[in-house]
């Protein structure tokens, strides 16, 4: 019973934090999105290495990586809170000057990552490569405009 109550209390504490986008400080939001991008970059890099032949292509591994990126791609967006262009971040103020464009680029990234996870389940290497390239383009396309070099 105690455990159940603890679980309910913990859930009640967590859910509003996620849904209310309740980062206590802009610094927390910056750390959150950087952590997500770090994980995305690692998983994406591993897929790239397999497609380039730098590592043996392992269908199961590739699938897991693609699933990871599809889930992770949904995380950073909510952490671009107002004021978080200031601080230890490469995010440019331009993001908040054209938030609609940024949002659209972020959503394209999520869509491409989801499509890559689906393609990864096929045995069609060309389809997998094309979906990987599309996802990479959506990373780069956004970085070019909204991330400091
Ligand atoms: C990565 C990473 C990026 C993107 C980009 C894709 O792994 O760190 O910034 O992929 O290079 O084109």
Residue 106 is part of a domain; what is its CATH number?
1.20.120.10
Task: Give 6-64 as a DSSP string.
Answer: HHHHHHHHHHHHHHTT--SSHHHHHHHHHHHHHHHHHHHHHHHHHHTTSS---HHHHHH
The pLDDT, as a whole number, for residue 88 is 97
Q: Which of 45, 63, 64 is nearest to 55 (CA)?
A: 45
20 C-alpha to center of ligand 1: Å?
30
14 C-alpha to center of ligand 1: Å?
31
| Helix residue ranges per DSSP H, 83-124 | 94-97, 99-119
The pLDDT, as a whole number, for residue 58 is 96
User: Does any domain span residue 17?
Assistant: yes
User: Does any domain span residue 81?
Assistant: no
Q: Candidates 68, 140, 144, 147: which one to mutate for ligand 1, based on the most atoms within 8 Å of Cβ?
A: 140
The pLDDT, as a whole number, for residue 22 is 79
The pLDDT, as a whole number, for residue 31 is 98
The pLDDT, as a whole number, for residue 63 is 98
Give me the domain span that covers residue 8. 2-76+86-146
Which residue has better confidence, 21 or 121?
121
Task: Give the pLDDT band (50/70/90) at residue 17.
Answer: very low
User: Does any domain span residue 19?
Assistant: yes
Q: Kindly list the protein residues whose Cβ atom lies closer than 6 A to any atom of ligand 1.
A: 41, 44-45, 136, 139-140, 143
User: Does any domain span residue 99?
Assistant: yes
Which residue has better confidence, 68 or 15?
68
Number of domains in the chain: 1
The pLDDT, as a whole number, for residue 6 is 58
User: Does any domain span residue 92?
Assistant: yes
């Amino acid at each position: 019973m105690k455990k159940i109550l603890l679980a309910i209390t913990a859930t009640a504490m967590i859910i509003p934090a996620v849904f209310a986008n309740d980062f206590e400080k802009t610094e927390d939001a910056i750390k959150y999105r950087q952590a997500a991008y770090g994980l995305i970059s690692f998983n994406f890099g591993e897929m790239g290495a397999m497609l380039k032949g730098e590592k043996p292509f392992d269908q199961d591994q590739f699938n897991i990586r693609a699933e990871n990126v599809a889930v992770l791609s949904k995380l950073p967006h909510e952490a671009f809170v107002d004021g978080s262009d200031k601080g230890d971040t490469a995010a440019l103020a331009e993001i908040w000057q054209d938030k609609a464009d940024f949002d659209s680029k972020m959503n394209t990234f999520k869509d491409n990552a989801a499509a890559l996870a689906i393609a990864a389940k096929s045995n069609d290497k060309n389809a997998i490569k094309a979906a990987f390239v599309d996802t990479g383009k959506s990373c780069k396309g956004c970085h070019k405009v909204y991330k400091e070099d």
